[in-house]
């Protein structure tokens, strides 16, 4: 019984390390990242679905990017999306991420719709003026 908990604790730690290092998503003290209980529920769901650590990290990263897109934080989402696509391709190539899951995770980002606001002006600037050309970005972030 204690061996199973040890495996689960290692799984949680590995997923957290992958999110922080490979995807460069700060899982603590990040105003855009879900709270600890929600984060642990996501890891629970991945564990219960028999996802590998790489699949779980990609799953949580894709939900994070979809949430950023939905709330208009494109400048934060774009670099994470680029790392997510790169890590996903690497994982699929090396057999640590199943192709069908990678497609499902990336589709969730494509399907994320920006939240409707009463005020059409964003509360914060999503991209500093003159710093990026949106034509070079993935289609899901073009307006």
Q: Which domain holds residue 106?
A: 2-141
Does residue 132 have a pLDDT over 70? no
Q: Is the pTM of this model over 0.85?
A: no
- In 3D space, the residue among 32, 15, 2, 38 whose CA is nearest the CA of residue 96 turns out to be 15
Q: How many structural domains does the chain have?
A: 1
pLDDT top residue among 21 and 113:
21
CA distances from 143 to 32, 40, 68, 134 (A): 21, 33, 15, 9
Q: What confidence score (pLDDT) does residue 39 get?
A: 95
Average pLDDT of the segment spanning 27-48? 94
């Amino acid at each position: 019984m204690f061996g199973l908990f040890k495996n689960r604790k290692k799984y949680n730690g590995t997923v957290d390390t992958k999110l922080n290092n490979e995807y460069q998503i700060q899982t603590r003290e990040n105003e855009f990242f879900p709270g600890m209980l929600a984060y642990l529920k996501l890891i629970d769901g991945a564990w219960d679905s028999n996802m590998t650590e790489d699949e779980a990290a990609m799953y949580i990263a894709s939900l994070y990017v979809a949430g950023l897109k939905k709330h208009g934080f494109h400048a934060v989402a774009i670099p994470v999306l680029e790392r997510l696509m790169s890590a996903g391709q690497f994982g699929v190539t090396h057999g640590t991420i199943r192709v069908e899951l990678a497609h499902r995770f990336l589709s969730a980002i494509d399907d994320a719709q920006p939240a409707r606001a009463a005020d059409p002006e964003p509360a914060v600037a999503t991209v500093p003026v003159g710093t990026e050309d949106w034509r070079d970005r993935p289609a899901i972030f073009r307006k």
